[in-house]
Structure 1
Amino acid sequence: MEGDDASKNRLKKVSIVGFGGLGKTTLARAVYDKIKGDFDCRAFVPVGQNPDMKKVLRDILIDLGNPHSDLAILDDKQLVKKLHDFLENKRYLIIIDDIWDEKLWEGINFAFSNRNNLGSRLITTTRIASVSNSCCSSDDDSVYQMEPLSNDDSRKLFYKRIFPFESGCPNEFEQVSTDILKKCGGVPLAIITISSALAGGQKVKPKFLRVLDLSHCNLGESSSLQLNLKGVGHLIHLRYLGLADTGIRELSAEIGNLQFLEVLDLGRNYELDELPSTLWKLRRLIYLNVFSSKVVPTPGVLQNLTSIEVLKEILLVSLNVIAQELGKLSRLRELQISFKDGNLDLYEGFVKSLCNLHHIESLSIREYSRETSFELMDLLGERWVPPVHLREFVSDMPSQLSALRGWIKRDPSHLSNLSELILVRVKEVEQEDVEIIGGLLSLRRLHIRSTCQTQRLLVIRADGFRCMVWFELNCGSAAQIKFEPGALPRAEVVRFSLGVRVAKEDGNCGFDLGLQGNLLSFLAQCIVKLAQSHFWQGLMKAKAQKVLTVVCSFLEGQLVMGKELDIGEICGQGMLF
């Protein structure tokens, strides 16, 4: 803001611009405090996103020392004139903080005459480049672009606030500190807020914080950092809390203080096995993720999360009351559920609750005990009618496709929006199943794995699977799968099994699967899994090469042999066979 004598005396305008959290206001305040004594009058006025021009003008006048009682009755133009007249023969310093609107600036700017040659200074701050350019339209004006802190400065700021040691960061905290600072991206506000929260919230009270994402920062390395996460309860306006893959083993009961929290991501914390009972207080929670943890909810918690729309992944044990509570979450759209100990009472309670969830769009069911009973899927087939919104159904429970056939035959419209179907432990796939599933007009991804196949030939018809992008059907060594000309017209990924022994015994020694014409449309990947018990042990490499050459005779390039038990995969450039 310095220059020759003439330029020093002209009205000088400076605009500080940069995204939120960089410290624009802090810098402006520091400048104001340092130089305000050099001016006849001064004002520091915050504006914000939805300002009232009259209020802004009144605040400037009052801060300058002109608190006349008539200010409340004056309109915009009168206030601008009054401010213009008041400043006419004064050397002033005015800082207008956080301007969002060019029109607001254009209206206020009439009060500041360029004929003021007393060395006055006008500073604005904004997040918007076009606003800063509007504030500094003459050659004498300056735009100052705020930049994020360097890595060194970020570390200094973080260490100063969180570690009371003169030597800086202890070795044991270096990696987690690096992870956290990487997420902060050099933004001082983020660094200060997170460090203060981890330090117990004693140095600042960051009530303004809406998002705190520490995901993938390994907090589990430090018991003291885990302990200090208790300070998160002070962030009372928090909307988003990301603690996924942080290694935490415990969640503080103070989480219940976050009355405005909408997203809580605790995924992939494998040592986390309990949620605090105070979680029930989070009545605004929309998204809760505890995927791959060992969390079993405390009875009475789930039924109070009445705003929840996405729930991943709740572990159900023998406590039927938890399964029943799910039925009270009427807004639920996405549900991932896991069963640890399956029994008929638990399954019945779950299915009864599921029947009350009319907005389900995505349902994923897993189990950890490697259950062999078909009870759950049979109950779903008999008692549950999929809501018309259902777009994704995933299950690794033992199942028979009779349940799916039942849903479709009763009312095909209920699966009219189903775009993804994944069933990884199906007892058997019959030709009727293939044709019924192929008739689902919205289906784009299919993954079915048969565990006990008896039908030896499955044919993928040309009139089915018209929107299929990802097709995966694995029937092991007990069946061969063939494709009619024109089948899977939009497929980008195709994976299927070939029972070599079955193909030979049924006269298909040339392994004609109908691939040649269809492969031209596969944009990304095709995998053929050659499956036969002891196939690789009893087959010489040359003979295997011959089999594969027949299957994909047009493929150019070197074929690479692979083996894993009785499954072989051949890899070519751009496609996998």
Structure 2
Amino acid sequence: MRSGKRSRTSRSVSRRWPSDAIGSVGTPSDIYAFELIFSEFSSYHLWFFDRYKVDAIKPGKILVDPRITALYTKATDLVGIDEAREELITRLTKGDDMSAQQQRVVSIVGFGGLGKTTLAKAVYDQIRVQFDCTAFVSVSQNPDLNKLLKNMLYELDKQKHANIHSTMLEEKHLIDLAREFLENKRYLIVIDDIWDIKPWGILQCSLLENSLKSIIITTTRILDVAEQIGGCYKLKPLSHESSKKLFHGRIFGSEGKCPGQYFEVSEKILKKCGGVPLAIITTSSLLANKSGDIKEWNDVCGSIGFGLASNPSMDSMRKILLLSYYDLPSHLKACLLYLTIFPEDYEIEKERLILRWIAEDFVHCKDESQSLFELGESYFNELLNRSLIQVADKDYTDNFFIPCRVHDMVLELICSLSREESFVTTVLGDSRQSMPSSGSTVRRLSLQNTTWPKLEMSKLRSVTIFSLTITNMMPSLSCCHLLRVLDLEDCNLKEHPSLRFVVNLFHLRYLSLAGTGYSGELPVEVAKLQFLETLRLHGTGIEELPSSIVGLTQLMFLSVGNRTSLPNGLRYLTSLEMLGVDGLESACTAEELGHLTQLRNLSVGLTTGKEGRWDENMCAALVGSLGKLHKIQSLTVCTEAGWNLNGSVESLGNLSYLYIDETTSLPTWIRPAILLHLSSLVIVVVQVRREDIQVLGRLQALSYLNLSVSGNIQVLERFIVSPDSFPCAIRCRFDHLSMLPSTFPPGAMPRLEDFRFGIQVEDFSRGEFTTDDLALGHLPSLRHVNVGLYGEWEVSQEVVTKVEEKLRHEADVHPNHPSLYVSCLL
């Protein structure tokens, strides 16, 4: 991903419309912004539809709307879900017959968009600490039961079942593994989005009843399914007051800020939304950018059909979603429809999605100085701001790594639009196919089944495979001369003999073998792929990249795993904006990184190499290279044994995300004067010094801090920070580090919501601290507190009780009544 610099000599622009690209004029999708046609001389001709008005697109950087964070992180508190949450928790954990209850089940039922998953997650988050193991898995409309069982086992114990997805186990074996694992454990399991009773029958076999009062929560749209599962709970729409709070909060920041002239039309819109959260969120996101024009509000109101208030009509919901779709600029319509490539409930990696948009030419700008990836980020953020995609993990700590999902109602809509225009051809796991109409061309193929379809593939632009085993039948694809995207991520290629055919795909822009376990060679002829922009090879067994790879001058993204050695000459890949190297072995390679001045995202793992020899100059060379990377925004450094990363760095002013695992101490270049925009810091150190906390407290943009100590619990002597320290911190975690909240005086951490820290209880036994020092009241924005109590149980039992009681009292009297979780690590 270079700064918008494509090969200008390889393309020419024409205003003629290619006959095979014309869809139904005037249909809702308006998707083909351009179509790439190859002449007999194999030169590019870029075609644009006049109706797209691509020249009129004004590229600009769009940030994630700050209201989005509140919308997702506080949804469970602010949209009226608290009453339903407490009702369900009471049903699940209390009652006269609880002592005799072996297993409790609640089935949340309601139509799409009503908030079933949100409610289930809210209950799950609040009570999960009471259980030995927990899991949250989604079934979806077309379930793969084998994968579903593996997902559940992985969620129950990520360490024990770390490699479960790479195993070839039958369902019966997986059920036996689950039953054996759950036999002596009290468990909490959420099974989300069940469409049919048959998958539940299989899953139920694995959920052993063990008289330990385990809990199962399911969600479904189908009342009959809920009743057969048992414990049916019919979810109600939001109250009018909660609906107003959600609606006005998304548009104006709070209900009280809504101008008077919008009251009447707001009431009409909310009545039509009928208390359905998805309808309210989608409509308010549409109106958020129209808050200065009452006429547009009335137009939107008039376009929404009645029905949701009295009858959960999907036609009305579709109408609301279509309004948001029609309101999109043409280039964003194509980007949104492209999401139909991914399966239902799939967690879509932001980086992967944007790189694919670029490869498909959906991201286009005239400004030579602008990064295509940054423009693609703006497209992503705009879809997020409009609530057409959702944050998959509300706990993300940096914009680089926001995973997203598509709500199943939105996915249903865009799939129907995609089918109308043959935008994506999807082959599903149950042999049903979203096939193009007769005579239409297959351009984008998404395979989610176990057999290769019989299709005419000569005009394929992209192939994406989500099946683990289908690659055994994969043709060479050598005939797909127009192929731009070949994405085999997480498929099983361990036994695949060769992928040599890829060197004939001269127009390939995106190639991913990530997570496939492929152990063959990458052909020397890969240098023929002169238009290749993305090469994802992490999670493979490729031992060495050919030296010819340094000739891929258009390469923007490269990632390799710790088994893969890099050739000399990395410095010649000057278009690289993103680089991931898990096995950096030499100072020479570390020095070459300094020549990649376009890098925005760098992830390196420092190792001793295959021969076990450590290059003592490697850390110094890496730090020296960092000083030359003026555009770096995200940096990850992992070492094997806590090596020293000190050195002189003066040019990290654009760095916003930093992850270091692990180093001897806080590097000397982590200083407020250098890291002006650092918002997220995750660091593991061998030793924390008292002055380190003071340095971190002066990082003016820091919103997320996770400071961990490697090895034994470290007691940090009492220290003083200024009242204005950590001014932007929202989440702060001190792991394996003993300290007290009173360390931070009134005025420090004014925005802190999530606080995790440890207390050495012997300090109280020795009289060095009293319970009065547990001053949670110093932190006015606190919402969640997680405290670990360290020490010797025999000596400290009485002190532990006092400390825990004091903490609970502090949480109770705090104005925000933060949730409190205390763990005794004694």
TM-score under structure 1 length normalisation: 0.58
Letter in 2 for 1:548: E
Q: CA deviation at 1:442?
A: 0.9
* Counterpart Cα distance in 1 of 2:566 and 2:24: 56
Distance in 2 (alpha carbons) for counterparts of 1:207 and 1:331? 30
Identify the residue that residue 424 of structure 1 maps to in structure 2: 684
Q: Classify 1:247/1:436 alpha carbon distance in 2 versus 1 (closer, same or farther; 3 Å).
A: same
Q: Report percent identity of matched pairs.
A: 27
Distance in 1 of aligned mates of 2:490 and 2:627: 36
Provide the C-alpha distance between the structure 2 equivalents of 1:179 and 1:470, rounded to a whole number of angstroms.
44
TM-superposed deviation, 1:467: 0.8
Structure (1 or 2) with the larger CA radius of gyration: 1
Matches within 5 A, 1:185-264: 189=460, 198-202=474-478, 205-220=479-494, 223=495, 226-253=496-523, 254-264=525-535
Q: 1:313 aligns with which of 581, 584, 591?
A: 581
Give me the whole-angstrom Cα distance separating, in 2, the residues matched to 1:156 and 1:145.
10
8 Å CA contact retained: 2:685, 2:708: yes
Match of 2:773, SS? Answer: coil
Displacement of 1:261: 1.2
Deviations 1:257-285 (A, max 9, x none): 2211111222333x343323332221111
* Aligned-partner Cα distance in 2 for 1:153–1:289: 34
Q: Report if aligned partners of 2:744, 2:778 keep a CA contact under 8 Å in 1.
A: no
What residue in structure 1 maps to residue 556 of structure 2? 286
Aligned to 1:340: 607
**Deviation at residue 423 of structure 1 after TM alignment:** 2.1
How far residue 485 of structure 1 moved from its aligned partner, in angstroms, is: 3.0
Distance change (3 Å), C-alpha of 1:397 and 1:193: closer
* Aligned residue pair count: 394
| Structure 1 position 347, deviation (Å) | 2.6
Alignment CA distance shift 1:297-1:497 (3 Å)? same
What is aligned with 2:727?
Answer: 466
Decide whether aligned partners of structure 1 residues 456 and 503 sit closer, same or farther in structure 2, where only a CA change above 3 A counts: farther
Q: Indicate the residue corresponding to 2:775 in structure 1.
A: 514
Distance 1:365 1:491 in 2: 27
CA deviation after TM superposition for structure 1 residue 441, in Å: 1.2
Q: Distance in 2 between matches of 1:484 and 1:400?
A: 25
CA distance in 1, matches of 2:434, 2:600: 44
* Partner AA of 1:505 in structure 2: R
* 1:298 equivalent in structure 2: 567
Give the conservation status (yes or no) of the 8 Å contact 2:580–2:603: yes
Q: 2:750 pairs with 472, 479, 489, which one?
A: 489
Query: Bigger relative contact order, structure 1 or 2, given CA contacts below 8 A and separation 6+?
Result: 2
Pick one of 621, 627, 648 that aligns with 1:355.
627
Asked if 1:437 is matched to 2:696, the reply is yes
> Secondary structure at the residue paired with 1:357?
coil
Aligned partner letter, 1:256: A
* Aligned residue among 591, 597, 601 for 1:330: 597
8 A contact 2:657–2:681 mirrored in 1: yes
CA contact under 8 A between 2:787 and 2:822: conserved in structure 1? no
The question of whether the paired residues in 2 share the 8 Å contact of 1:497 and 1:529 is answered with yes
Q: Please state how far the C-alpha of 1:475 moved relative to its aligned partner.
A: 5.3
Please report how far the alpha carbon of residue 314 of structure 1 lies from its aligned counterpart in structure 2 after TM superposition: 4.2
Q: Quick one: distance in 2 between partners of 1:479 and 1:522?
A: 15
After TM superposition, the score normalised by the length of structure 2 is 0.42
Instruction: Provide closer, same or farther for how the CA distance between residues 506 and 207 of structure 1 changes in structure 2, counting only shifts above 3 A.
Output: farther
Question: How far does residue 229 in structure 1 lie from its aligned partner after superposition?
Answer: 2.6
Post-superposition Cα deviations, 1:381-412, rounded to whole Å, max 9, x if no partner, equal: xx3224322222322232333714xx63xxx4
Q: Secondary structure at the match of 1:252?
A: coil
Q: Following TM superposition, by how much is the alpha carbon of 1:311 offset from its aligned partner in structure 2, in angstroms?
A: 0.8
Q: 1:356 to 1:521 in 2, by over 3 A?
A: closer
Match of 2:64 in 1: none
**SS state at 1:476 partner:** strand
Unaligned runs of 5+ in 1: 1-12, 26-45, 53-99, 102-143, 158-175, 567-577
Match of 2:110 in 1: none
Counterparts of 1:181 and 1:444 in 2: how far apart (Å)?
48
Q: For residue 7 of structure 1, what is the aligned residue in structure 2?
A: none
**Residues 574 and 596, structure 2, Cα contact 8 Å, conserved in 1:** yes
CA distance in 1 between counterparts of 2:450 and 2:724 reads 52
Maintained 8 Å contact 2:488/2:514: yes
Q: Is this contact kept in 2: 1:456–1:480, CA < 8 A?
A: no
Letter in 2 for 1:385: E
1:396 to 636, 653, 661: 661
> For residues 652 and 628 of structure 2, what CA distance do their matches in structure 1 show?
10
Task: Please give the alpha-carbon distance, in whole angstroms, between the structure 1 residues aligned to 2:623 and 2:451.
Answer: 42
* 1:442-463 superposed Cα distances (whole Å, 9 cap, x missing partner): 1111122245856422455531
Q: Match for 1:366: what amino acid?
A: C
Partner SS for 1:377: coil
Which secondary structure does the structure 2 equivalent of 1:553 belong to? helix
Per-residue deviation, residues 539-559 of structure 1 (Å, max 9, x unmatched): 55x864443121222557999
Name the aligned partner's letter for residue 685 of structure 2. R
Q: Give the 3 Å change call, closer, same or farther, for CA 433–348 of structure 1 in structure 2.
A: closer
Cα gap change, 1:340 to 1:19, in 2 (>3 Å): same
